[in-house]
Each structure stands twice: as C-alpha cells, then as structure tokens.
Amino acid sequence: MPYRYLENIATADAAFEVEGRTLEELFRDAAIATFEVMVDAKSVELRITKEIELKNEAVDNLLFDWISELVYLKDADALIFSKFEINIKKNDLYELKATASGETINQEKHILRSDVKAVTYHMFEVKKEKENWTARVVLDI
C-alpha cells in the first residue's frame, strides 16, 4: 500500500502519509487515500472523467489545491473517483494536468464511509527525501 493512515491525530479528522518516487505517484496515491476515507474505491466504476488543471508556485500548495478540488467535485457534483492519471511539470510554476475517473455517488451501490469536508493545513507537509517524495495530509471529516 503506497499510503498509510495515521491514528490519533485528531478526533474529527482522518490523517495519512503517502510516498511516491515521482510527484505524479504522490498526487495519485494522495487522491486514492482521500477517496478511500470516503468510500470503498473497489465499488466505484469508471463511468465519468473530469479533466483538472491546476497551477501553483509551491508543490505543497499544489497538492493542497489538488485534494481540495477533488473534495469540491464530490460536494458540488456528487462525484467520487477511483482512478487518476496525472502529469506535473515544473516551469515558472508547478503545473498539474490530470484526469479523474469515477461516477456519481449512489448510496444504494457504494459502501460509504466518512464524508471529507476539506483538507487542512494542520500538520500538512510535502517534502523530497532522497529518491522519494512524501506527504502528510489531515482531512476534516
């Protein structure tokens, strides 16, 4: 498993650490971990795709924006995702282009868990350690 959940961080939060060889792996696995807090991803079929483009000066803020956008799509359009294709380039800014695939929430079909309200800055960090990127994320549920 490319991510692990952290226990006892806070009572109304879910926290995880994620690691990837590339930023694309890190962002993909952070998205998967976020949606696994909300739903059993195995129950999510790939019926809808959303194209997402984000830019930011800092890689940690880009990850924050990425997770925030996914939570927004869940809230605004009732979409849950289970597959992510991501490309990140660094020019003057970090530029993310991604495709998120999933479907509309169906309470009769999906095994729903906790509702993620937002990503928080509490203990949030992204860093490169030797060959790998790591991140710690706390979600408000």
pLDDT in tens, 9-45: 665 688 999 999 999 999 999 999 999 999 999 999 9
What are the structural domain ranges in the chain?
3-140
The answer, yes or no, to whether residue 110 has pLDDT greater than 80, is yes
**Whole-model pTM?**
0.91
Q: How far apart are CA 86 and CA 108, in angstroms?
A: 30
Q: In this predicted structure, what is the pLDDT of residue 8? A: 67
Q: Give the pairing of strands 3-6 and 48-56.
A: unpaired
Condensed to tens digits (0 to 9), the pLDDT of residues 67-84 reads: 999 999 999 999 999 999
- Find the mean pLDDT for residues 95-106: 98
Q: What is the largest CA-CA distance in the chain?
A: 46
CATH number attached to the domain at 3-140: 3.55.10.10
Structure tokens at 12: 């109304």
Q: DSSP letter string over 69-125? A: HHHHHHHHH-EEEEEEEEEEEESSSEEEEEEEEEEE--TTTS-B-PPP-EEEEEEEE
